[in-house]
């Protein structure tokens, strides 16, 4: 078993090591308990999460035109918070205490899929929310 060494480290490291041993749900809880705010996440990572969510909103100047016509409803502000929390849990599972933009990208589909409502046009073209989220990820530059 690959565990994080806690020798000479803070109690947070012990919590992270225990979370990795117990699995994903525990990692999610530890990530949420250690810090519910996003102040320990780099500003560029928070900005990236916010930009992704803004691009899901029809009529937003940030949203690409082809995406806008496929959506009736976009994700709200809590989606950014959930992206960051999901990314924190992924970082914990991988033994890191920092969150990267790649963690945000990997959390995007599960976090956003139920928060956006596709348009009739998208449904007629057999395009679902997962497809739209992947297109948004492709249209958003990673800092």
The 10s digit of each residue's pLDDT in 92-117 is 788 787 899 999 999 999 999 999 99
**Per-residue confidence at 139, pLDDT binned at 50, 70, 90?**
confident
Distance CA 50, CA 68 (A): 17
In the chain, alpha helices (H) = 11-22, 24-34, 43-54, 65-68, 77-93, 101-112, 120-124, 129-139
Q: What is the pTM of this model?
A: 0.74
């Amino acid at each position: 078993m690959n565990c994080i060494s806690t020798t000479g480290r803070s109690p947070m490291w012990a919590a992270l090591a225990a979370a990795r041993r117990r699995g994903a749900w525990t990692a999610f809880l530890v990530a949420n308990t250690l810090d519910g705010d996003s102040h320990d996440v780099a500003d560029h990572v928070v900005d990236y999460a916010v930009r992704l969510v803004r691009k899901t909103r029809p009529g937003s100047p940030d949203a690409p035109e082809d995406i806008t016509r496929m959506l009736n409803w976009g994700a709200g502000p809590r989606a950014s918070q959930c992206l960051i929390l999901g990314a924190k849990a992924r970082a914990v599972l991988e033994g890191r205490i920092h969150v990267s933009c790649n963690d945000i990208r990997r959390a995007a589909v599960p976090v956003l899929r139920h928060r956006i409502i596709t348009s009739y046009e998208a449904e007629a073209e057999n395009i679902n929310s997962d497809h739209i989220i992947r297109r948004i990820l492709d249209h958003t530059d990673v800092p």
